[in-house]
Amino acid sequence: MKRTLRHLADGREIIYFDHDGEHERTAEDTRDLPPVAAASEIRLDPLTREWVAMAAHRQTRTYKPPADLCPLDPTTPGRPTEIPEPDYDVVVFENRFPSFSQNAHGDPSTVDDLGLVPTAPGRARCEVVCFSSDHGGSFSQLSPERVRLVVDAWADRTLALGETPGVEQVYPFENRGEEIGVTLSHPHGQIYGYPFVTPKTERMLDVARAYREEHGRPVMGDVLAAEQKSGARVLVEGEHWTAFVPPAARWPVHIQVVPHRQVPDIPALTDAERDDFARVYLDVLRRCDALYDRPLPYIAAWHQAPVRRDRDLAWLHLELFSVLRAKDKLKYLAGSESGMAVWINDATPEQIAERLRAAG
């Protein structure tokens, strides 16, 4: 892999990841861009002790541009984009409309004199990851070699963001499809460097800690072993990864892709594990797109260990889920899910697994 660091017209970093050393990434960003203005703030909910981000500047971000004006396409004569090069393999750049930013400044404070709601600048970092220069493509259409390059880029950025001031957790993810809320259809994902450990990760770490104290083993290891032994919910088994529908699946389509070895994050994966992930994950994605004979809208979320603590408790895994419960029907997060965080699924995990196996 060849890695090339450049800068956009407003000073943001852009990093090219290429399969080989043949490409020289020297194109300049010719746009006249004002400096990035990101006044991110975080506030601690006094009732749940969970951080909430405030990023009002994101109201002006790019929203559903026509295909011929996509800012994630390569630059062409007369039409400069976020990527100055005329072509690329995988590219990562700082988000111009970030939820968290190194430009967020200020001192910790409180909302009022009572001190119930601490506030702080949302000082961290958000990046965009373009998987391909092909506007009409998708992750499921990538080659195994290209997926491996994406994994290497995720690993590179996980390490880099982990060393960025203020970042406590690194979260690579992909939103796909308008039903999910995607506003740019180009195949891409994002990486958030959070200035705190997320609530879901905190909960999973608490469970992992309690389970290890009681049983002396990691809970994900026992879940994985149980799924492999049962086979009822397994979709794809590789040499180093297994993909299965979780036994308490919340979503109409819900899959976990889990490495057979406990590692805290993507950088800890071996070359063999990264290659095997590409094969297993592409199999999963192609089953998902065949399920309703249409591109499946989904969120693909990497669960990684926090940067500075509990790394021995975490077990890296990818979680993929979709709101699509039939070809033309959505699952809405209504009163029970949104109000009480109590999930009600319209299908059993075993039914979901059987449909995905048949789709393959």
Annotated active-site positions, please? 188
Which sign, positive or negative, has the C-alpha torsion 85, 87, 89, 91? positive
269, 151 Cβ separation under 8 angstroms: yes
Structure tokens at 191: 């990486």
104, 193 Cβ separation under 8 angstroms: no
Closest to 255 (Cα-Cα) out of 235, 240, 278: 235
Counting runs of H as helices and runs of E as strands, what totals does the chain give? 6, 17
Strand partners, 250: none
Closest to 302 (Cα-Cα) out of 251, 259, 343, 345: 259
* 34: DSSP letter: P
Q: How many CA atoms lie within 13 A of 136 on its CB side?
A: 1
Burial of 59 (0-12, 13-18, 19+ CB in 10 A): exposed
